[in-house]
Amino acid sequence: MADKKPLILVSNDDGITAKGIRNLVGIMKELGDVIVVAPDGPQSGMGHAITIGNTLRLEETDIFEGVTAYECSGTPADCVKMAKHFVLKDRKPDLVVSGINHGSNTAISVLYSGTMSAAIEAAVEGIPAIGFSLCDYSSDADFSHTRDYVKKIAKQVLDKGLTKGVALNVNFPPKRNEDIKGVKICRQANAKWQEEFDQRFDPHGRRYFWLAGNFVNHDKGEDNDEWAIANNYVSVVPCQFDLTAHHAITIINDEWDI
């Protein structure tokens, strides 16, 4: 009897029609049985938001040939929840993959990332998960150089698993004239957005704002995701949802008068 294929749930934050998720679905079909639950439109920058004050809609679609797929009106985290509680019911995925995102999710961006929120939501449920991102914001970005690495990393997780509660944040450099040098298992860089708000006025004199700014890297190390991408490596950062600053507990207990 042939071995049972692993069940793989695919989601994203760019929406179910994005080029990145189409690439990811195609790769995952080579590794297992694929189910897609993804937002019906762009949900970038939603972080781990969930829908609690509005209704959620879930509609089956034939957008991916030979793959059962649903488009959801909610956030990426909603999509994973809807997959778990409604679409898959009593079946638990062997792997959840999210992306491939159009744009970087290195450094602090992981906190804002809808792509990674789908992966982290899976990790909360004890399911191995990976968020894939390409550092190219173009809607028509070239994903061809990511294929072999996406497949290899996903297969490693399927074969060897992940520590419970951990999701991988995988970022790819943009397509360049040289081949990718390899994979770096690294930490999140100490880098952030230095925000600015561009104040403008509409024809009625009402004020509005556009968020702008520059990405500033304060990290001089060579063991972080920003360095890896800049030097044409694939960065892999293991992430967890426990945000406790464990090192601060002792300091506060020792120094605070409470």
Mean pLDDT rounded to a whole number for the chain: 94
Does residue 44 register a pLDDT over 90?
no
Please, which pLDDT band fits residue 2 given cuts at 50, 70 and 90? low
Which residue from 115, 165, 154, 164 is spatially nearest to 234, judged by alpha carbons? 154
Please, which pLDDT band fits residue 1 given cuts at 50, 70 and 90? very low
Strands 234-240 and 166-172: antiparallel
pLDDT of residue 246: 93
Please, which pLDDT band fits residue 166 given cuts at 50, 70 and 90? very high
CA distances from 53 to 38, 85, 112 (A): 20, 19, 21
Which residue from 85, 78, 86, 81 is spatially nearest to 60, judged by alpha carbons? 86
CB-CB contact of 45 with 114 (8 Å) = yes
The pLDDT of 199-214, averaged and rounded, is 92
pLDDT of residue 120: 97
Q: Which residue has the higher pLDDT, 227 or 47?
A: 227
DSSP state letters, 89-100: TT---SEEEEEE
By percentage, how much of the chain surpasses pLDDT 70? 99
Max CA separation in the chain (angstroms): 71
User: What's the start-to-end Cα distance of the chain, in Å?
Assistant: 64
**For residue range 111-156, what is the model confidence (pLDDT) as tens digits?**
999 999 999 999 999 999 999 999 999 888 999 999 999 999 999 9
Which residue from 115, 140, 122, 109 is spatially nearest to 217, judged by alpha carbons? 109
Does residue 43 register a pLDDT over 80?
yes
**Topology adopted by domain 7-189+222-255:** Stationary-phase Survival Protein Sure Homolog; Chain: A, (3.40.1210)
pTM beyond 0.85: yes
Does residue 70 register a pLDDT over 50?
yes
